[in-house]
Amino acid sequence: MVTNGCVLPDILDRVLPWVDAFNIDLKSFSEETYRKLGGDLKTVKDFIICAAKRSHVEITTLIVPGMNESEEEIKALSGWNAGIEKSIPLHITRFFPQRKMSHCMPTDIDLLGRLFDTAKKNLDNVFIGNV
């Protein structure tokens, strides 16, 4: 199941028997950025922790220039992820401008490489996508 992770624990308990794996979209590791996007980082983090205890979990972060592209943020995200389980895959994906975000630039491929290197210091399975 692909999800944004904004799921309450009681709903997760009802869904888990029917789901083999989750790919969870972790938009940012900044509470401020999550609030701007209309979400709640703590809810998503709690969902990831619960799901990882009982199912296969992979995390995807779309790297959007000007929003979540700092090496410090990826270091914090991957360090937190490793605290749950170092083998949880992290997909770092390239952003392409579309619709309401057509004014933004696509993610620089060299930046993705640096973020990959940063995340690999904490995690066993890091992948770059949308290149």
Q: 68: which residues sit within 8 A by CB, 6+ positions away?
A: 27, 28, 29, 30, 33, 61
Any alpha helices (H) in 41-70, and if so which ranges?
A: 41-54
- Six-digit token pair at 127? 């992948």
- Six-digit token pair at 25? 């979209």
Q: What is the pLDDT of residues 9-64, one digit of tens each?
A: 788 888 888 999 999 999 999 999 989 888 899 999 999 999 999 899 999 999 99
List the domains of the chain with CATH numbers. 2-129 (3.20.20.70)
Reported pTM: 0.92
**DSSP state at residue 5:** S
What is the Cα–Cα distance from 123 to 110, expressed in whole angstroms? 20
Mean pLDDT, all residues of the chain = 93
Over range 105-130, report the average pLDDT: 97
